[in-house]
Amino acid sequence: MAIITSAETIDIRFPTSLEADGSDAMNPDGDYSASYVVLHTDGLDAAGQPLAGYGITFTIGRGNDIVCMAAREIVNRLIGRDVDQMVADMGGTYLSLCSDSQLRWLGPEKGVVHLALSAVMNAAWDLAGRLAGKPVWRLLADMTPEQLVDIADLRYLADVLPRERALEILRKAEPGKAERIADLEAKGYPAYTTAAGWLGYSDEKMLRIIAEQEQLGFTAVKLKVGANLADDIRRCRKAREAIGPDRPLMIDANQVWDVPTAIEWVNALKEFDLRWIEEPTSPDDILGHRKVREGVAPIGIATGEHCHNRVMFKQFLEAGAIDYCQIDAGRLASLNEILAVLLLAAHFEVPVCPHAGGVGLCEMVHHASMLDYVAVSGSYEGRITEYVDNLHEHFVHPVRVAGGRYQVTGDAGYNTEILTASIEEFRFPDGSYWAAARS
Amino acid sequence: MAIITSAETIDIRFPTSLEADGSDAMNPDGDYSASYVVLHTDGLDAAGQPLAGYGITFTIGRGNDIVCMAAREIVNRLIGRDVDQMVADMGGTYLSLCSDSQLRWLGPEKGVVHLALSAVMNAAWDLAGRLAGKPVWRLLADMTPEQLVDIADLRYLADVLPRERALEILRKAEPGKAERIADLEAKGYPAYTTAAGWLGYSDEKMLRIIAEQEQLGFTAVKLKVGANLADDIRRCRKAREAIGPDRPLMIDANQVWDVPTAIEWVNALKEFDLRWIEEPTSPDDILGHRKVREGVAPIGIATGEHCHNRVMFKQFLEAGAIDYCQIDAGRLASLNEILAVLLLAAHFEVPVCPHAGGVGLCEMVHHASMLDYVAVSGSYEGRITEYVDNLHEHFVHPVRVAGGRYQVTGDAGYNTEILTASIEEFRFPDGSYWAAARS
């Protein structure tokens, strides 16, 4: 029997703005950051090591301290809890952390308090996986449909996804689970890369990286667009010429357009046979996305990295506003809410293609995609998960990608533990990197 | 010429949970709180007093410090600015505070960072009113349509409210402005009270307050519902008997239901001839509100106090999901965004009935309603603004209500300055009240 004895919240910031990694039309100079939560216990994990849980949400710099402050307020509620009891009722654990009505007022279920809840529950899930000695995708995939619906946050979804319908989806995926697990272990989950497409990169750098990525097995390419139409036309043309007519090419505007502009701009790029336009406009504009979808067909609409909770995904899906559902593992409140969105997407037959990159998002979303494949949708069709080869060196158990696919790592937990040396260097503002930068 | 020389952010909490004031089905024990921002300058106001601006956003306790921290991050950008330049371009001032892409990631335009932006811009608007020697509603009502559209945040609204359409609405309201101002000064703006309806009150207390409020000229009554159906039936029956068949009775569920439950519950109260059901479900559930609206007609749907920005209001209005648009002056990012929502509501011909209560919300929203009447919708029809007689004693220039209507106070600014003695007593955690409560 173990107890959660203490918790840490740590503001970690990487100076990515120096290299224009991650630059897009909305976010020209992000410093990729982690609001990092550590749950300490007095117990041991399945391997006999001190048991702890490590959770992340991702931000792009300023304000990371604000999320850490909110996470501290939330995580304090876990201190003193019995680990076995917490892990045996992860649905109840999640609800107990949502139930502070005073903090709820600050969202509800959105913005800083929801990002902070994500970091805390991600740490709880990492702890649960380590205690069981399993990757979290496998911990969940091994559960019964009834156990899974008790974990999924189905609040406010009853009009489209009542509990019985959620059970039906999960039961339908039961046959073939073992075969799909074996398939994942042999081949991995399909990925694409945004490595070449950042707006701050020169055409030469873009083409060089596209060629490098092809060598690594990545067949799809995504470019950031939206700052200058002539540039976008030139870059799309060069990318399409480089990859040939058959490979998928996607574009991403990071919310810079209003609806009429989105329709006009995307139609000006139509000749390049685009699979999707990502984040064409405000992430709150459900009906606007539907208008863009109608205005640029057959180009698909992808969004979700800023879609703040399952209720918003319900809108996008029910309104017929999106073709690809891009969940974010740091913005949705952990696997409890991700599972609800996987179920909603399966109900509406829309493929889930998670957002990744940043810090730790690839580490987390490969679990979400593997869970979707094994236990929810049961399919790869139309599905492809983002991968960015950036900052993985700071993780104790980084994701592995080979042949253009996320591999099963076999590591227990959520792959979200950051190396102590990296924390010492990039903790803000007192890590060695930032102390030196100020002097 | 004056300069903004410094800014303060102060966490002020009132122990309202002790009396069950403000108790509802979602929020049983709120401590009404203000994230309070003060802009200091080296200049003088129109009355020759030291010029400053005082802004509020409202929270219900824990987490108020988180909002203050975010406000500090935002308000620092105003320090050193020339006051005349800032006030001459309040649209540009607002945009410059929205434009930090790193902080934007934490919303975008929602949750803690948006609440904080509201507090900061509310202080800037208070300062603008004081400099001009006018109440802010009058400062805006005296502007031209062109000046107003430059202030309104119309970003992401172009598909339903292009600039030309916004100008058309404002120009249509130009004739009759002087008469409407005179009418407001003579009679005031229609209000209703939630004083009797809190869930924690006994039936006797409810009926006593209804009678008292009637003596004060309030004709409409609103009750909190959603905890227990038998209680709600009894309370609605008693309230309806007390006020007779003709006066408006409204109910407010504070988001506790999912869609099917909302429809069933409200229909069980139909015999009491309800004007509206407020916040029947999640504030993010646009299509769900439309289903409730269809399911409980002719009872109207009111929502908005948790509707986090103008893009969300665009959804509710365009989807035909609401009958009453309940803007909140602390959740929308100040008059720049409120003006955009007033324009949207006028375009869709939905009456704006602001949410109030809390700390300082009545002080602020009476400006929004008066602006709507004089310069946007030009109408009282179907419009009624919430009033709660609570905590006004802490304000230097509190709102005045007489004959059931908000009166024109004539005070320059936004009526949001809190008494120094109240700050010294209720500043958290070191004010004299909280220090004594801990000892």
Task: Count residue pairs from A and B with Cβ separation < 8 A.
Answer: 195
| Catalytically annotated residue among A114, A134, A224, A289 | A224
Q: What is the pLDDT of residue A20?
A: 63
Cβ of B282 within 8 Å of Cβ of A156? The answer is yes
* Chain B environment of A158 (Cβ under 8 Å): 258-261
User: CB distance from B337 to chain A under 8 Å?
Assistant: no
User: CB distance from B299 to chain A under 8 Å?
Assistant: no
Pair A113, B71: CB distance under 8 Å: no
Distances (CA, A) of A324 to A62, A267, B140, B373: 30, 19, 43, 43
**SS3 readout for B299-343:** CEEEECCCCCCHHHHHHHHHCCCCCEECCCCCCCCHHHHHHHHHH
Instruction: List, in sequence order, every residue forming a beta bridge with A36; answer none if it has no partner.
Output: A10, A56
* Tens digits of residue pLDDT in B374-419: 999 999 999 999 999 889 999 999 999 999 999 999 999 999 999 9
* Chain B environment of A28 (Cβ under 8 Å): 101
Listed in sequence order, the residues at least 6 apart from B179 whose beta carbon sits closer than 8 Å to its beta carbon are none
* Chain A environment of B308 (Cβ under 8 Å): 110-111, 284
User: CB distance from A63 to chain B under 8 Å?
Assistant: yes
Which residues of B are catalytically annotated? 224, 355
CB atoms near residue B397 (< 10 Å): 18
Can you tell me whether residue B83 is helix, strand or coil? helix
Give the confidence band of B27 by pLDDT, cuts at 50, 70, 90. confident
* Chain A environment of B155 (Cβ under 8 Å): 258
How many Cα atoms occupy the beta-carbon half-sphere of B157 within 13 Å? 29
Pair B296, B320: CB distance under 8 Å: no
| Catalytically annotated residue among A355, A367, A394, A397 | A355
- The yes-or-no verdict on residue B77 having pLDDT over 90 is yes
Angle at A23 between CA A19 and CA A27, to 5 degrees: 130
Cα–Cα distance for residue pair A423/B195, rounded to 1 Å: 52
Distances (CA, A) of B102 to A26, A61, A64, A391, B35: 10, 6, 9, 18, 22
A224 is catalytic: yes
ipTM over the 0.85 cut-off: yes
Q: What is the pLDDT of residue B28?
A: 73
Instruction: List, in sequence order, every residue forming a beta bridge with A402; answer none if it has no partner.
Output: A405
User: CB distance from A158 to chain B under 8 Å?
Assistant: yes
Please choose, from the candidates A162, A172, A216, A170, the residue with its C-alpha nearest in 3D space to the C-alpha of residue A191.
Answer: A216
- The yes-or-no verdict on residue B82 having pLDDT over 80 is yes
* Tens digits of residue pLDDT in A244-265: 999 999 999 999 999 999 999 9
Listed in sequence order, the residues at least 6 apart from B334 whose beta carbon sits closer than 8 Å to its beta carbon are B55, B94, B117, B118, B121, B122, B124, B125
Cα–Cα distance for residue pair A85/B422, rounded to 1 Å: 45
Specify the DSSP class assigned to residue B418.
Answer: B
Cβ of B311 within 8 Å of Cβ of A156? The answer is no
Cα–Cα distance for residue pair B270/A103, rounded to 1 Å: 33
Mutant choice from A105, A110, A341 vs B, greatest count of B C-beta within 10 A: A105
Residues (pLDDT < 70) of chain A are 20-22
- The yes-or-no verdict on residue B23 having pLDDT over 80 is no
Q: What is the pLDDT of residue B183?
A: 97
Cβ of A29 within 8 Å of Cβ of B101? The answer is yes
User: CB distance from B256 to chain A under 8 Å?
Assistant: no
Q: Are strands A249-252 and B33-44 parallel, antiparallel or unpaired?
A: unpaired
Q: What is the pLDDT of residue B20?
A: 63
Q: Are strands B385-387 and B189-193 parallel, antiparallel or unpaired?
A: parallel
- The yes-or-no verdict on residue B1 having pLDDT over 90 is no
Q: How far apart are the first and last CA of chain A?
A: 48
Cα–Cα distance for residue pair A370/B383, rounded to 1 Å: 52
| Chain B from 21 to 50: CB within 8 A of any A CB | 26-31
Q: What is the pLDDT of residue A29?
A: 79
* Chain A environment of B284 (Cβ under 8 Å): 109-110, 156, 308-309, 311-312, 315
- The yes-or-no verdict on residue B21 having pLDDT over 80 is no
Of A31, A111, A260, the CB nearest to B112: A111
Cα–Cα distance for residue pair A208/A15, rounded to 1 Å: 24
Mean of all residue pLDDT scores within chain B: 96
Cα–Cα distance for residue pair A81/A75, rounded to 1 Å: 11
> Angle between the B111-132 and A111-132 helix axes, to the nearest 10 degrees?
160
Cβ of A159 within 8 Å of Cβ of B113? The answer is no
**SS3 readout for chain A:** CCEEEEEEEEEEECCHHHHCCCCCCCCCCCCCEEEEEEEEEEEECCCCCEEEEEEEEEECCCCHHHHHHHHHHHHHHHCCCEHHHHHHCHHHHHHHHHCCHHHHCCCCCCHHHHHHHHHHHHHHHHHHHHHHCCEHHHHHHCCCHHHHHHHCCCCCCCCCCCHHHHHHHHHHCCCCHHHHHHHHHHHCEEEEECCCCCCCCCHHHHHHHHHHHHHCCCCCEEEECCCCHHHHHHHHHHHHHHHCCCCCEEEECCCCCCHHHHHHHHHCCHHHCEEEEECCCCCCCHHHHHHHHHHHCCCEEEECCCCCCHHHHHHHHHCCCCCEECCCCCCCCHHHHHHHHHHHHHHHCCCECCCCCCCCHHHHHHHHHHHHHHHHCCCCCCCCEEECCCCHHHECCCCCEECCEECCCCCCECCCCECHHHHHHHECCCCHHHHHHHC
- The yes-or-no verdict on residue B181 having pLDDT over 90 is yes
Cβ of B110 within 8 Å of Cβ of A110? The answer is yes
* Tens digits of residue pLDDT in A290-328: 999 999 999 999 999 999 999 999 999 999 999 999 999
Q: Are strands A401-402 and A405-406 parallel, antiparallel or unpaired?
A: antiparallel
* Chain A environment of B107 (Cβ under 8 Å): 110-111
User: CB distance from B106 to chain A under 8 Å?
Assistant: yes
Considering only alpha carbons, which residue of chain B is nearest residue A259?
Answer: B159
Please choose, from the candidates A229, A230, A201, the residue with its C-alpha nearest in 3D space to the C-alpha of residue A221.
Answer: A201
Distances (CA, A) of B26 to A154, B195, B274: 18, 17, 21
Q: What is the CA radius of gyration of chain B?
A: 21
Instruction: List, in sequence order, every residue forming a beta bridge with B291; answer none if it has no partner.
Output: none
Cis-peptide, bond into residue B135, ω within 30° of zero: no
Element (H, E) at B288: helix B286-296
Average pLDDT of the residues in B369-375: 98
User: CB distance from B269 to chain A under 8 Å?
Assistant: no
Mutant choice from A159, A257, A355 vs B, greatest count of B C-beta within 10 A: A159
Of B106, B155, B287, the CB nearest to A67: B106
Q: What is the pLDDT of residue A194?
A: 86
Give the confidence band of B167 by pLDDT, cuts at 50, 70, 90. very high
Q: What is the pLDDT of residue A304?
A: 98
Considering only alpha carbons, which residue of chain B is nearest residue A310?
Answer: B284
Q: What is the pLDDT of residue A22?
A: 67
| Phi and psi angles of residue A249, each rounded to the nearest 5 degrees, phi first | -125, 125
Please choose, from the candidates A127, A134, A124, A140, the residue with its C-alpha nearest in 3D space to the C-alpha of residue A50.
Answer: A127
Which two tokens mark B149?
């559209």
In chain B the domains, ranked by start, together with CATH numbers, are 4-142 (3.30.390.10), 170-420 (3.20.20.120)
* Tens digits of residue pLDDT in B99-110: 899 999 999 999
Specify the DSSP class assigned to residue B376.
Answer: I
* Chain B environment of A319 (Cβ under 8 Å): 287
* Chain A environment of B108 (Cβ under 8 Å): 255, 282-283, 306
Cis-peptide, bond into residue A162, ω within 30° of zero: no
Cα–Cα distance for residue pair A111/A67, rounded to 1 Å: 9
- The yes-or-no verdict on residue B24 having pLDDT over 80 is no
Please choose, from the candidates B397, B401, B419, B406, the residue with its C-alpha nearest in 3D space to the C-alpha of residue B126.
Answer: B397
Listed in sequence order, the residues at least 6 apart from A351 whose beta carbon sits closer than 8 Å to its beta carbon are A323, A324, A325, A345, A377, A379, A381, A382, A383
